[in-house]
Amino acid sequence: MSRYKILTVPNLMSFFRILLVPVFAVTFLEKVPLWPVVILLLSGVTDLFDGMIARKFNQVSDLGKMLDPAADKLTQIAVVSCLTTVYFQPMLVLLVVYIVKELTMLAGGLVMLRRKKIVPAARWFGKIATFEFYFAMALFLVFPRFLLAHPGYIAVIIAITIGLIVFSLLMYAVQFFKISEKA
C-alpha cells in the first residue's frame, strides 16, 4: 500500500477523532450527562486501535503519522480546556505544562526535519503518559462532585499526570540528543 494513501481505516479513525473534539466540547459545556465521558472513551479506543490496524494491515501512511498525533493533541487540549471551567487552578497548571511540552516537542521535531533526521515515532513512555492522561481526565469527568469535595485527590491526580508528561518530555529529549549526535 502506498504511504501516500489517504482513505485508510486508520486515517478515517483519526479524522473521526478530530471531528469528536468539538462534539466533546459542546456536550461538556452544555452539561449533557455522560456524553463527554462516552466521547472521550470513544476517542481513546479509536486512538488505541488506529495504530494497531495501520501496522497490522500495512496501512501506515505519512498522512496518518500527522493525523494521529494531531487528533491526540486537539483532543487533549479540548479536554483540559473544558475541565478548566470546573477545576480552574489545577487544570490551568496542567494545561500550561501540556502546552509547553507540546511546543517543545514541535520545536524538536522541526529541528529534526530541518537537519534531515528521522523524527522518531511515539515511544512507550509517551504512550503511558497519554493513557494516564485519558484515565485521569475520565476520572474528572465521571466523579466531579467527589473530586470537588476532596481537593487532595485533585492534586494527586494532576501531579501524577504532570509528572508523566514531564517524564515523557525528558525521555523524548534524550532521544532527540541521541539522534542529533549521529552524523
Q: What is the pTM of this model?
A: 0.88
Exposure letters 142-174 (e unless 16+ CB within 10 A, then b): eeeeebeeeeeebeebbeebbebbeebbebbee
Confidence of residue 167 (pLDDT cuts 50, 70, 90): very high
- Report the share of the chain in percent with pLDDT over 90: 68
Share the mean pLDDT of the chain: 91
Is the pLDDT assigned to residue 1 strictly greater than 60?
no
pLDDT of residue 66: 85
Residue 146 pLDDT more than 50? Answer: yes
